Each structure stands twice: as C-alpha cells, then as structure tokens.
Amino acid sequence: MKAMLLNESAPIETAPLALTDLPDPQPRIGQIRLSVLCCAICRTDLHVIEGELPPQKMPIIPGHQVVGIVDEVGPGCKKRFAVGQRVGVAWLRHTCGCCPFCLAERENLCESSLYTGYHEDGGYATQTIVPENFAYTIPDAFTDTDAAPLLCAGIIGYAALRRSQLQNGDKLGIYGFGSSAHVVIQIALHRSCDVYVVTRSRSHRQLARQMGAKWVGENAADMPVKVDAAIVFAPAGDLVPPALAALQKGGTLALAGIYMTPIPQLDYEKHLFYERNIHSVTANTRADGLALLAEAAQIPIRPHVTCYDLHDANYALQDLKADKINGTGVLMMSD
C-alpha cells in the first residue's frame, strides 16, 4: 500500500510526511481492513505531526476521518460488516469496556483508550485497519467526501453541543469557524437556534454568513448579545475569558479542542459568577458517533470540502494551519 508516513515530529512547513510504499496491513482478531476512499484532515493531525501531542507511536500514519470499503474481515469478527460494505473510522478506536467510565457510558474517559492516527496507524494511506467494534456504517445520504468530515469534525462538534447544554431555540456562540464549527452551525440552525460566530479569518466569516449565522465578527468583544451556550473550537486560550463574559447567567461554555494555549487569569465576578459553567470536551463515545450520523443524515448535513491527492497531504495541512481551507480538507486516494 501507499501511505504518507511521519517518521518524527516536525513543523508541517518542513513537509515531514513522506509518501512511502509499505506492506499491506493484515487484520488481527476482531479487526477489519479497509480499502480507503478518502480521509479528511484535522487540526488534531497537526498536533500529532508537530509534536504538540506527545508521540505515542513512531513512525505513524496519521488520519482519523476515514471512509473506505471493507476488503478483508479478520478472524474472530462478529460479522458486523461484510466485504464490499462502506464504513467509517473515527478518532476513538479502543476502550477497555470494563472500567467505571466505560460501564457508565463515558468510554471517552477510559484510561485505556487508544486513538486512530496516534496510537495506531490511520487513514493517510490506501489501506487501513480498524477494530470492527469501532467502525461506523456510513448512511446512504452521504457521498464519501460528505461523510469523511463527520467522523471527527462532526462527532466532536456533536459532543461539544452536548457539553454546551444547548437547547432548541437557544442562542449559540461559536469561536473559530473551521471544520467542526461549519458542521455544528448546520445542526444548531436545524434546532431553530440563532448562531453568533467569532473568527479572525475573512473567508471563514464569509462562509459563516453564507451558512446562516445571525451575526459574524472578528472580535469577541463585539458580539451584540449574550448567548445561552458557546463553544470554543479555536485552540486559543485567550478566547476563554471573553467567551465566558458573553454568556447569559447560567450559560455553559464548551472547550472543544484536544489542545489549547494557556488560558489567561479569570475574574470570578465577570467570567464565572451567576452560575456560568466551563465544560471541556474529551474525545467522544461511540454513542456520540451514532447519534451524529443519524441526525446528520436527517438534516442532511452537507460539509464544504476541498479535495487534495494523498501525496499532497503536507500541502493540505499547511493550508489548514494557515486557515486557507473553508470547511474541511479531504485527501483522496488517487495514488
């Protein structure tokens, strides 16, 4: 198979991913192998590649928003998927199933959790392996490139909405308007919410307006109303104080990133009093994934995508880092 392989952490500007010929992976007990159709890119991939997340496996094939066709079923599988079936692979790929978190339906907090494209090879390749219990059936409502962004951007955005305690008809503030946010706005509008977007990128502001945001601006201090719930998608800790200040009494701010720069000192009365809440978001459960795919198919969600060839993964991620992609970048397996 062909894969974009990371041999050591480095800035994406140095093009650290190398197109490499590797042996075809062989599924082990309980695993299925996919012939990859496409794989969406994500800021978490950047955090892995550039070392902002401590390395867990080197070399590693990044990528955790994978759409592919099952081409081999490993021993011991429960036949959830058949050869020829289209399935998706997401960030979460293993939990223990028996710890207090798993038993309480909070498997995203499992101490033994493992992640695609971080602990095990991911989808920047023409083939990949996934445990069958952590793969998703892709609804027929989606094309391959529609589906790929939903498998992390969508799922994490959905988990962030849950953590923000957004109710139908509420006002929602969104800080940063990348891949997850452009999926979340479609869900929030479907739930009759008004959405207020803060983003520094001019093209992202334009997209937010096109997608139906009630208000769009560059500066958090300019938000014209107090919102009931908010989500910070940008990995920028300095957005947290103004996002809290813009909350209604009793409102909740969800922090959706896996990585964030330091949060400045908070003022208790200005930022936290009146029962304002901060909820971090840690990965997702498989239940989040199933619920997102079901609601997304009902709406239906249509991600904005920019496609790149697999061998152009370095350039795609450079564009992502520079905020040049509106919506989601997707690698196509044309090699």
pLDDT at 258: 83
Nearest to 228 by CA among 181, 299, 302, 172: 172
Q: Give 253-300 pLDDT, tens digit per residue.
A: 999 988 899 999 999 999 999 999 999 999 899 999 999 999 999 999
Ranges of the chain whose pLDDT falls below 70: 335
| Helix, strand or coil, per DSSP, at residue 295 | helix
pLDDT at res. 228: 98
Q: How many CB atoms lie within 10 A of CB 73?
A: 20
Computed from CA positions of residues 290, 291, 292, 293, in that sequence, does the dihedral angle turn out positive or negative? positive
Write down the pTM of the prediction.
Answer: 0.92
Distances (CA, A) of 152 to 134, 158, 248, 331: 13, 9, 29, 14
Residue 334 pLDDT:
76
Beta-carbon contacts of 219 under 8 Å, excluding residues fewer than 6 positions away, are 198
CATH level 2 (architecture), domain 2-152+283-332: Alpha-Beta Complex (3.90)
N- to C-terminal Cα distance for the chain?
Answer: 10
CA distances from 84 to 32, 35, 69, 70, 121 (A): 11, 9, 6, 5, 22
Domain residue ranges in the chain: 2-152+283-332, 155-280
What confidence score (pLDDT) does residue 257 get? 85
Contact by Cβ (8 Å): 246, 276? no
Residue 79's pLDDT is what? 85
Task: Give the CATH H-level superfamily of domain 155-280.
Answer: NAD(P)-binding Rossmann-like Domain (3.40.50.720)
How far apart are the C-alpha atoms of 207 and 27, rounded to whole Å? 41
